[in-house]
Structure 1
Amino acid sequence: MTVYLDCNSTTPLDPVVREAMLRFLEDEFGNAGSRTHEFGARAKQSVEEARRSVASLAKADAQDVVFTSGATESNNLAIRGLAEYGRREGKTHLVTTAIEHKAVLEPFEQLERQGFEVTIVPVDASGAVSVAAVEDAIRSDTLVVSVMHANNETGVVQPIEEIAEQLDPEGPYLHVDAAQTFGKLDDPLQHPRVDLISLSAHKIFGPKGVGALIARRRGRARPPLEPLMHGGGQERGLRPGTLPVHLIVGLGEAAQQAAQDKVERAARCQEIRRGIVHALAPLGVQFNGDQSLVMPHVLNCSVPGVDSEAGMLACKGKIAISNGSACTSVSYTPSHVLEAMGFSEDRIEGAMRLSWCHLTPDADWQALIRQPLARLAG
């Protein structure tokens, strides 16, 4: 049996979540927009329960939650959805970091082509952005600051709370791509100055195809978002279309399970981490990113003399791992994250990402990881 170690790409579906979803595929199949009968009423009630479950992890109001197809759409809605307001108000400067997911960097690039000015804040070998560097990048005409919570390739957690503390209460909107941390590291996301939070269900043992944007109000004022699509008026007019009730129920159940089991899940992930690090130690691996800042379920490392493609091939049939973001793995290009951290070409080309979860079984990590990589390393 191949041991799955690619949980930053997607997680297994929690059996409890699956059971909750099946009910809304087989029995409760009503449209949440149908107001005239009990099928629609029950569907709408279940959607609102899920909305409350998602909001609770960020200590947000349930009405601040907009359901989307996932974090990529949420990122686009948060960034591109503010563009018209920015033009009206003369706020056409954007700030982000060099290690963001492409789902943030590419919307920024699109706005830059449309006349916005973009400042990209660098990182050092730690993989973490400097709070002072973010603060220095902000200007009077800055519309939005977008900083991911934890990097999808290295697992390095960014100083979201510290950045939020430095922002003027009426200053630029703070957007956080929390795809890798929502349901795992929620306290920083509860900071009232974090205005916009993107998340995906399939990163927290829920289904693919659903996520949310939490658009936290400042007082009574909602972030001035414009929809990317039109037609139907669902989700306060920000995301039209018939709601996928079974997927939303799955996200809500996944959020509930994450809230209940967070401590136990993290402890299990730390236990697995110790076993993997111990197995790799004799190979003289280089850990990419400050390990004191890394999520407990992620390890990005390079084995001297071993190319990542060869390493993954050697481990094939034993463990399933990746060498970067799943969204860019179809045509391999060097990691822009590791390049931004200043690593050598050899180190970048040798980088492999291992990511696990509380459902990962106990394994002989020496046999599964060390031995095949040791043969390649000579």
Structure 2
Amino acid sequence: MSGSTFGKIFRITTWGESHGRGVGVVVDGVPAGFPIVPDEIQKELNRRKPGQSRMSTSRAEKDSVEILSGIFNGITTGTPISMLVWNQDADSSSYEYMKNTPRPGHADYPYQAKYGIRDYRGGGRSSARETVSRVAAGAIAKKLLLRYDIEIVAHVIELGGIRAKAMDFDEIVENLEKTPVRCADIDAADRMQAAVDSARKEGDSIGGVVEVIARGVPPGIGEPVFDKLDADIAKAMMSIGAVKGVEFGAGFECSRMKGSQMNDAISLRDENVFMETNNAGGIIGGISTGMPITCKMAVKPTPSISKEQKTVDMESMKNTGISIKGRHDPTIPPRLVPVAESMMALVLVDHMMQNGSISSVSLLKK
């Protein structure tokens, strides 16, 4: 299977299935001499792991990371970093009855059509459990970016049609983990939780919108034409299984604006070039402007629901119905937050390495 490697200079290759022995990642391109300890990676994995609240599946995985290579005495050696997380609470029995009936909204049928075989246990490789690997790699990328004063935060801004009010970066960071839905607007978060509970009682699920913001990215990062920074960020976010739409800055709203409204006026602030608004979302012509990079993702409802749905029995080739059992998230956006942060970090580090802004030499000077 191709398509499991991401990045050019700072590259990751993820592997593993939802109900296999484990999942993991190989990270290549990390400069030598950079301090990394397992606890820093574990902290990010703990934000993603299941079973933390009623907003997530009850699958009880510890998601404890093992670093197999690339780090010696807490310092990167410049060689590939390999990390492993064992699967410890997989219950495959819930999937036996539907091994021949592809689940609506899942990748079961296209995987079968492409490969002629699939791991039907929990979705196999197409499962959201694959994102463990992204978050482990993203923890390294996020720490690298902090050396250059670049911070990333993602948060839920809409869930089940309930929208949060606009908040600044510091407010988001302060309030993000105060609610299980990871919405910084506490009042909206309470209503979102009620919406999730209501959908769960109905045997259904809800989707939402996640915004990810990168603050401190200097101007001039990104490549023109086909390797635009926003193009690569869009690819990164769309590679997350549940994401069905991506927009930057004003996004689709720009189609309803005039040029005089959309264009970000340029002025000087403390002798630095500054944009008075950020409708472009921090990127113009595929290159960063120095303004915060803002990206929103439309996240679909969890496809695993207990309501009966139409499908086909691929063995008898007859129409049938399916009601999905097992342990599943009633909504995806809250657990997608650390994944979105990780994907943003991976893209930024890779582009900054292409730009020469991150290297072993520059890190030693920090």
State the TM-score bracket (shorter-chain normalisation): under 0.3
TM norm structure 1 = 0.21
More strand by share: 2
Of Structure 1 and Structure 2, the greater helix share is in: 1
